Structure 1
Amino acid sequence: MDDKETVIKHLEMIQGIINRLAQNSFLIKGWSMTILGAVILFFSKSQPQYIILCLLIPVIGFWFLDSYYLWQERLFRGVYNDVRKQDKTDFSINISAQKSKPKYKWHSSFISITPVIFYMIEIIFIGTAFFILNCK
């Protein structure tokens, strides 16, 4: 196997990691929506409407977890960009070198446009459900 083929194999390995992280992020969003809908549906039939406000805790928890996976995905994309510029590879994956770069900070993943829009819609949905159930 020549040097270019090893670099390609290394890139394929990194891309597999990126795909798994993206899938985890997708699953977290799905679980967040499922739990939110199920709990609101369940508690809309009973009396304690304030329990709906407790849904803010798991939504924010899912937001943090989703942001973590997005951050990890960005770090591995940085590794991918570094490896693709190489002529030889030793198959090392060093994400710590990416953490010092400003565009790969965790907080930039937390306030990224996609998670902010997704989880703010959920938070607005919780507030609306709380308001509607308390007006009955």
Structure 2
Amino acid sequence: MSIETAIIHKELDLIQDVVKRQATNSFQVKTWMMGIVTAILAFKNDEIFSAGKTPGHHGLWISLVLLLPIICFWYLDAFYLQTEKIYRELYKWVVVNRPDKTELLYDLNTFKRKNYQTNGEPVEDLKAKAGSVWKVMFSVTLRTFYLIPLIFVLALAAYNLILK
């Protein structure tokens, strides 16, 4: 039994909408991280760069607080990108397996699925194909984007620690 092309296209559109949403979320996470770090640096500029001028380690603590949004948003960004990759794998699965099967029609769950092109024997794990969140987190693109502010903040912390 063959499924109408319009039904397959609608299912692919639903999956593509999820992929677009994840890409938008990933972009917004980067925007929020840069905004929060920049705002803290702008409003606490005097305290951060007053090493050696005032008693205490106030600048050091602010520098270390800057690590929190960087690391949290880095992980969240990796989660969104991993989810996007999982749905891209689901998209590929639908393109290959959907023309003849109505099983799991319009199902957006990303669990293991049978590969019907090989008589259903091997089971494809969509999450395993996408990789873990940690693997995505340390991919080249995310690593370069988040390591630059991370190194800058660690340099600020070292500056405040050494000059106090």
Q: Name whichever of 104-113 and 20-29 sits farther off.
A: 104-113
State the secondary structure of the residue aligned to 2:111: coil
Q: Sequence identity, in percent?
A: 31
Deviation >3 Å, runs of 4+: 128-135
User: By how many angstroms is 1:67 displaced?
Assistant: 0.8
Which residue matches 1:25? Answer: 26
Pairing 1:1-136 to 2, within 5 Å after superposition: 3-46=4-47, 48-50=58-60, 51-85=62-96, 86-88=98-100, 89=102, 90-97=105-112, 98-99=126-127, 101-130=128-157
State the secondary structure of the residue aligned to 2:66: helix
Q: Deviations over 1:50-94 (max 9, x none)?
A: 111221112101111111111111111110110111205511123
Structure 1 unmatched ranges of 5 or more: none
State the secondary structure of the residue aligned to 2:46: coil
Cα separation, 1, equivalents of 2:134 and 2:160 = 34
User: By how many angstroms is 1:133 displaced?
Assistant: 6.2
Alignment: residue pair count = 134
Q: Name whichever of 122-131 and 104-113 sits farther off.
A: 122-131
TM-score normalized by the length of structure 1: 0.87
What is the root-mean-square deviation in Å for CA atoms of aligned residues?
2.1
TM-score normalized by the length of structure 2: 0.73
Letter in 2 for 1:21: Q
Structure 2 unmatched ranges of 5 or more: 51-57, 113-125
State the secondary structure of the residue aligned to 1:27: helix
Larger radius of gyration: 2
